[in-house]
Amino acid sequence: MTTQVIVLNGGSSSGKSGIARCLQAVLPDPWLAFGTDTLAQAMPMSLQTSAAGIEVGQDGEVIVGPEFRALEAAWIEGIAAMARAGARIIVDEAFLGGAASQQRWRRALGTLPVLWVGVRCDGAVAAGREIARGDRVTGMAAAQAELVHQGVGYDLEVDTTHTEALECARAIAARVR
């Protein structure tokens, strides 16, 4: 079976978005890339800072509420529908709920051929990237570095601590069927 979906799971500032862009450049066919940041930005402002939507604590902890979960479920189903319709999809995700987050994606993607990729990065390195980016709450990268991988199963893992996004993308592309 030809890989239809690549799911990149990693903490904030781990390098997932860079890898996704590099994958789009090195894979021979066109691939669409969608990230959890895009979902959050698409939500109304009222849900971007509320208990019903998504809140980021002063320490970088991300808390999601019921309205976020409802919209996230629709978004996941929409991405799965695009893949079932023939689009090749790269998902840039942070499984804040670990195995439960992966299970939500597994249910939606069903029998689609998926390559599950863990994107790891040392928490201190990710924290340095977070500061350099300037668009994240300090502490988010360190808090998520290991949390997002708890109980999650992968076909492949890459580590961006000392490896560039392009090299990681090439390793992932080599596993795409």
Task: Determine the residue type at 14.
Answer: S
Are the CB atoms for 8 and 151 separated by under 8 Å?
no
Q: Catalogue the E-assigned strands of the chain.
A: 5-9, 32-35, 54-56, 62-64, 89-93, 114-120, 156-159
User: Rounded to whole angstroms, what are the CA distances from 51 to 22, 48, 56, 79?
Assistant: 35, 9, 10, 25
Quick one: which of 115, 120, 113, 111 has its CA closest to 157?
120
Q: CA–CA separation, 141 vs 147, rounded Å? A: 10
**Cβ atoms of 60 and 136 closer than 8 Å:** yes
Cα–Cα distance, 141 to 96 (Å, whole number) = 12
CA 176, 74, 38, 120 torsion: positive or negative? negative
**Is 37 annotated as catalytic?**
yes
Task: Give me the active site residues, please.
Answer: 37
